[in-house]
Amino acid sequence: MSTFNNNIATKFPDLKPRGPGGEALLEAERAKTSFDVKSLSKFMYTEEWLDKMYKVLRVIENEPAFDKTNRYYQSRADKIKTSLWKDRRMIEIAREQNWDEQELQIANFLFDQSTPFSLHYGMFIPTLQSQTTDEQKKLFLEPALKHQIIGCYAQTELGHGSNVQGIETTATYIPETNEFELHSPTLTSSKWWIGGLGKAANHAIVMARLITDGKDLGPHPFCVQIRSFEDHTPLKGVTVGDIGPKFGFNSVDNGFIMFDHYRIPHISFLAKYSQVQPGTGVYSKPPNAKLSYGTMVYVRANIVMGVRYALAKATTIAIRYSTIRQQFVDAASPKKWDNKVIETPVLDYTMQQYRLLPIVASAYACFFTGREMLRLYDLNQKAMQKGNFNLLADLHASSSGLKSLTTTMAIESIEDCRRACGGHGYSMFSGLGQFYQDYLPNVTWEGDNYILTQQTARYLLKTFRNVVAGKAEPSEYNHTISYLTQYLQNPTAKCPATKPSDFLNPELILSAFGFRAAYGIAKVAEKIDREGRSWNSMLVEISRISRAHCQFILVRNFIVTLQNDATLTQSEHKPINKILKTLAALFALHTMEKELSEFLLSGYISSEQCAMLKEQVISLLDVVRPDAVALVDAFALPDYYLHSALGRYDGCVYEAMTKMAEAEPLNHTLVVEGYEENIKPFVHQGKVFAKKDAAFSRL
């Protein structure tokens, strides 16, 4: 009996992939593991968090509004429509299930797609919480928490992004009526990119230049109703809509808005920090805004933690598939299975290991640095409350550069993982395509990645000058000062390595990264301070010193945590500590190799040592290889979250690919729309058909 279903074009026959199948291959991989996968997951997430995740997962996996089956087939309009559905159901389910804040967060994390309400939670409510008076909280925040009003945050304009001070929208105080008049004077003043604004929001925080008594006081926030409560149509004086399709994020209604002498009441001006006196329009300035830097650190620490998830997701897919996908027989070392030669799983090729294993290592690196940033954020918040601002500058500068460095790493790694999946990486079913598209704005928003490096570099140069002037002492919390001091004490220091394995020494690694960062900073300082070079002409080197500094931090946090962490240094966790140490070395040495010219130019390492370094990187790949699948399993990312045919826990890659192809809407009909008009006339040219389906009937 045939396994084929003839003439149902969209139904695959009930056949198996050529063996060995993905299940067997992954099982064999997992049998090689050197450590306890669950313990490592618990160490990273805590058992409590994992329990919550599985609890939430069981709920949303079975909720139609959270079903991902159609995700890769949807048109823009479908995406928006189903996203609104998800937004509503999320509110309802959270209530039904009595979820706490963290469980709600987990649900959104697992759903893994932004929606029109995302900015209501992410920006509208937090802004109202931090910038309103009590009266405004009643008026705006309370209904926002009940979703009686749905808001967004309108800052960016068509003509202004990073330079917030340059925005053009005005809010002019009208003393006669005690109102503000919002106005968009030019086309470029249109608010643009505002998530949730295009279709969903009925309110917006609008950043506009406050003008009172003829004086332009720069951008200030206003909370403004924009759509009718009754029927959701735009209010008079408001032109609002969706900005159109984007590279990704198409489940969000990023919008534009323009105001035509649009009057809003005095209460709209968010007045916690600065005020406009009713009637007189007299303005009172906000107090020093240093405290808000703390919040930025928090946001960025979370972005770095998010990078960890991005890298974890990408590598989980690519690593698992690379142990299943077989290509060519490696003649020098043929792979055997049941005593027969099979094609070699691609992860056994050094090049594939070189492309993927350092990314696994970097996922762990970002975890340790994200965790450390959150710890320092807490420390700093407590310190600032006591009036101690000592930690702030270093923390803020590092967080800027780390946001820049790690999100750039993440997006490159997602794409590297996608390419490492070969042709199937290009299928949306890989799970890596839409992921790349949606992740990409991270390199631009919350500070453009190039511009951010200037903030870090300014701090590094200032610190360097202070160290040179003897005005900065090394401290437990400021490693920048430490490595700069060390460098200045011996600017011609040399790396002591005499054999490849010397590069495994953590102290050697840290010295190398510190020296290289300090050398770059010193060179830039010299050019600017002594040779009088302009800041603009030095921007390329400036971005390099920010990167060098942040790579030092990533490496340092990884290495030092393994040495000191109370859990990891327990004897029962020895195997975990061992593999993590290997990953730390791989991350550090692979980074050195990538940035080799800077290490060479600093004079710290020699050509001969570079050759040793390269040897050591290749050796480390060999050590990590057997644990590759276990290391991504430890990320504990459920199949629902991954939504990837290639990255499934069970390895049934080809079964999933064909199942997902069956669901392609184009396959719902045997004959394509447009056949009658566009194909048939050519095929039927001067032809007579004797009987249906006769091959070569035209001959």
Residues in the chain: 699
Residue tagged 């490592």 (tokens): 40
- Is residue 202 classed as helix, strand or coil in its secondary structure? coil
Per CB under 8 A, the list member of 64, 126, 265, 286 interacting with a copy of itself is 265
Q: How deeply is 534 buried, as exposed, middle or buried, from its count of CB atoms within 10 A (0-12, 13-18, 19+)?
A: exposed
Does 190 engage in binding with a copy of itself (CB under 8 A)?
Answer: yes
Site for a copy of itself in 438-457 (CB under 8 A): 440-441, 443-445, 448, 450
Per CB under 8 A, the list member of 46, 75, 277, 570 interacting with a copy of itself is 75
For a copy of itself, the closer CB: 333 or 571: 333
CA-CA distances (angstroms) from residue 393 to 41, 286, 376, 450, 671? 33, 21, 12, 19, 65
Per CB under 8 A, the list member of 44, 154, 211, 428 interacting with a copy of itself is 428
Judge contact between 66 and 86, C-beta under 8 A. yes
Does 426 engage in binding with a copy of itself (CB under 8 A)?
Answer: yes
Window contacting a copy of itself (CB under 8 A); options: 68-76, 100-108, 208-216, 628-636: 68-76
Does 34 engage in binding with a copy of itself (CB under 8 A)?
Answer: no
Window contacting a copy of itself (CB under 8 A); options: 42-50, 124-132, 321-329, 631-639: 321-329
Give me the residues paired with residue 209 across strands.
170, 219
Rounded to the nearest whole angstrom, what is the least distance from the CB of residue 505 to a copy of itself in the complex? 22
For a copy of itself, the closer CB: 135 or 473: 135
State the Cα–Cα distance between residues 236 and 228, nearest whole angstrom. 9
Distance in angstroms between the alpha carbons of the first and the last residue of the chain: 33
Q: How deeply is 200 buried, as exposed, middle or buried, from its count of CB atoms within 10 A (0-12, 13-18, 19+)?
A: buried
- Spatial CB neighbours of 164, under 8 Å, sequence gap ≥ 6: 155, 207, 219
Q: How many CB atoms lie within 10 A of CB 575?
A: 15
Window contacting a copy of itself (CB under 8 A); options: 208-216, 314-322, 555-563, 605-613: 605-613
Phi then psi dihedrals of residue 173, to 5 deg: -75, 130
Window contacting a copy of itself (CB under 8 A); options: 169-177, 228-236, 300-308, 463-471: 228-236
Rounded to the nearest whole angstrom, what is the least distance from the CB of residue 291 to a copy of itself in the complex? 25
Q: Where are the alpha helices (DSSP H) in 264-347?
A: 290-324
For a copy of itself, the closer CB: 10 or 466: 10
Judge contact between 294 and 377, C-beta under 8 A. yes
State the Cα–Cα distance between residues 280 and 447, nearest whole angstrom. 37
Does 5 engage in binding with a copy of itself (CB under 8 A)?
Answer: yes
Per CB under 8 A, the list member of 69, 233, 277, 295 interacting with a copy of itself is 233
For a copy of itself, the closer CB: 30 or 88: 88
Judge contact between 649 and 323, C-beta under 8 A. no
State the Cα–Cα distance between residues 103 and 181, nearest whole angstrom. 42
Residue 21 tokens read as 């199948």
Does 282 engage in binding with a copy of itself (CB under 8 A)?
Answer: no
212 known ligand binder: no
For a copy of itself, the closer CB: 35 or 249: 249
156 known ligand binder: yes
Per CB under 8 A, the list member of 127, 155, 189, 323 interacting with a copy of itself is 189
Rounded to the nearest whole angstrom, what is the least distance from the CB of residue 185 to a copy of itself in the complex? 8
CA trace torsion 595, 601, 606, 608 (10° rounding): 50
Applying CB under 8 A, what is the total number of residues that bind a copy of itself?
172
String marking each residue 584-603 x if it binds a copy of itself according to CB under 8 A: ------------xx--xx-x
Per CB under 8 A, the list member of 1, 469, 566, 695 interacting with a copy of itself is 695
For a copy of itself, the closer CB: 11 or 375: 11
Judge contact between 204 and 154, C-beta under 8 A. yes
State the Cα–Cα distance between residues 620 and 624, nearest whole angstrom. 6
Window contacting a copy of itself (CB under 8 A); options: 82-90, 105-113, 557-565, 576-584: 82-90
Does 662 engage in binding with a copy of itself (CB under 8 A)?
Answer: yes
Does 351 engage in binding with a copy of itself (CB under 8 A)?
Answer: yes
For a copy of itself, the closer CB: 194 or 576: 194
Does 482 engage in binding with a copy of itself (CB under 8 A)?
Answer: no
Does 488 engage in binding with a copy of itself (CB under 8 A)?
Answer: no
Residue tagged 């991989």 (tokens): 29
Give long-range contacts, CB 8 A cutoff, 24+ apart: 45-50. Answer: 45/636, 49/102, 49/106, 50/636
Rounded to the nearest whole angstrom, what is the least distance from the CB of residue 199 to a copy of itself in the complex? 4
Reference 410, options 502, 304, 262; nearest CA is: 304
Reference 303, options 442, 409, 433, 437; nearest CA is: 442
Site for a copy of itself in 638-657 (CB under 8 A): 654-655, 657
State the Cα–Cα distance between residues 253 and 287, nearest whole angstrom. 35
Among 157, 168, 446, 598, the active-site one is: 446
For a copy of itself, the closer CB: 60 or 267: 267
State the Cα–Cα distance between residues 599 and 594, nearest whole angstrom. 10
649 DSSP 8-state letter: T
Per CB under 8 A, the list member of 106, 258, 276, 545 interacting with a copy of itself is 258
Residue 375 tokens read as 């710890």
Largest CA distance in the chain: 98
Does 672 engage in binding with a copy of itself (CB under 8 A)?
Answer: yes
239 DSSP 8-state letter: E
String marking each residue 524-543 x if it binds a copy of itself according to CB under 8 A: ----------xxxxxxxx-x
State the Cα–Cα distance between residues 373 and 363, nearest whole angstrom. 15
Q: How deeply is 67 buried, as exposed, middle or buried, from its count of CB atoms within 10 A (0-12, 13-18, 19+)?
A: middle
Rounded to the nearest whole angstrom, what is the least distance from the CB of residue 325 to a copy of itself in the complex? 8
Question: Is 446 a catalytic site residue?
Answer: yes
For a copy of itself, the closer CB: 185 or 278: 185
Does 679 engage in binding with a copy of itself (CB under 8 A)?
Answer: yes
Site for a copy of itself in 167-186 (CB under 8 A): 168, 184-186
Window contacting a copy of itself (CB under 8 A); options: 42-50, 248-256, 301-309, 498-506: 248-256
Does 63 engage in binding with a copy of itself (CB under 8 A)?
Answer: no
For a copy of itself, the closer CB: 490 or 534: 534
Rounded to the nearest whole angstrom, what is the least distance from the CB of residue 439 to a copy of itself in the complex? 12
Reference 315, options 635, 618, 24; nearest CA is: 635
Active site residues: 446
Query: Binding site residues for FAD, as ranges?
Result: 156, 195
